[in-house]
């Protein structure tokens, strides 16, 4: 899978939704390639719940999760993007939403899933922000309430995409890997060391996670005006 994008440090969180803002761009086309490759990887199996994580922080997992959700919804599939990074959530910034309630509200039973999800400007795409940051993220993600929430979401949506914390930082991603149908691992070219990438993969596999592919981010290509390369 390949993805290229123009480099611009002035991009706001909102501008990260390139698949929505400029669906005909090369960048958006490559997100659609990621979508297609995921679909081909599951010809005989239903990949409904997808987890997006990274080895370490700052590798582009949240941008990947958000744009993947957009291109999935552009196929007129009902998609739910869940911010399961309960330590440093960002989805509400990307979609310009208030994060007063969300996933933690559902897991603590203070709101129902129906009450907590938000529509977006992209048809067929809904968002479940993280909600208030809890003192026990790992325990919440591994709770019975989390399994119940996921089952309800599967009944309501065609695709559920989870944005999770980095795999090597905390155990949260490993917990969710066991619940999801597939995992997309995002790595940063020149920053993610081979040892880190291998350890992240091993941890996810040990947690019974199914690795769908790897996204290599920020790979510079010679003789090209674009600066991102996403591949699996």
Average pLDDT for 209-221:
79
Q: How many CB atoms lie within 10 A of CB 155?
A: 8
Closest CA to 21 of 107, 84, 95: 95
- Residue 43 has a pLDDT of 66
Q: What is the pLDDT of residues 62-114, one digit of tens each?
A: 999 999 999 999 999 999 999 999 999 999 999 999 999 999 999 999 999 99
CA distance 201 to 199: 5
pLDDT tens per residue across span 147-177: 999 999 999 999 999 999 999 989 999 999 9
Specify the pLDDT at position 1: 46
State the pLDDT at residue 179. Answer: 94
> Coil, helix or strand for 185?
strand
Confidence of residue 190 (pLDDT cuts 50, 70, 90): low
Domains of the chain, with CATH numbers?
Answer: 14-217 (3.40.50.300)
* Cα–Cα distance measured from residue 104 to residue 213, given in angstroms and rounded to the nearest whole number: 28
Residues 113-146 pLDDT 10s: 999 999 999 999 999 999 999 999 999 999 999 9
pLDDT band at 216 (very low <50, low <70, confident <90, very high): confident
């Amino acid at each position: 899978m390949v993805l290229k994008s123009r480099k611009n440090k002035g991009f706001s969180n909102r501008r990260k939704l390139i698949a929505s803002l400029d669906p005909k761009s090369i960048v958006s086309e490559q997100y659609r390639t990621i979508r297609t490759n995921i679909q081909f990887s599951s010809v005989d199996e239903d990949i409904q719940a997808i987890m997006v994580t990274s080895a370490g922080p700052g590798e582009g997992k949240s941008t990947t999760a958000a744009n993947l959700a957009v291109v999935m919804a552009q196929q007129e599939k009902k998609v739910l993007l869940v911010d399961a990074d309960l330590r440093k959530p960002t989805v509400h910034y990307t979609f310009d939403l208030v994060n007063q309630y969300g996933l933690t509200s559902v897991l603590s039973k203070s709101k129902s899933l129906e009450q907590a999800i938000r529509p977006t400007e992209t048809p067929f795409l809904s968002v479940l922000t993280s909600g208030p940051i809890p003192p026990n993220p790992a325990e919440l993600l591994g709770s019975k309430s989390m399994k119940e929430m996921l089952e309800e979401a599967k009944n309501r949506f065609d695709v559920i995409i989870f944005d999770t914390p980095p795999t090597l930082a905390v155990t949260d991603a490993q917990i969710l890997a066991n619940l999801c149908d597939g995992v997309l691992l995002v790595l940063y070219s020149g920053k993610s060391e081979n040892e880190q990438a291998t350890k992240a993969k091993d941890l996810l596999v040990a947690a019974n996670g199914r690795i769908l592919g790897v996204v290599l981010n920020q790979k510079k290509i010679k003789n090209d005006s674009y600066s991102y390369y996403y591949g699996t």
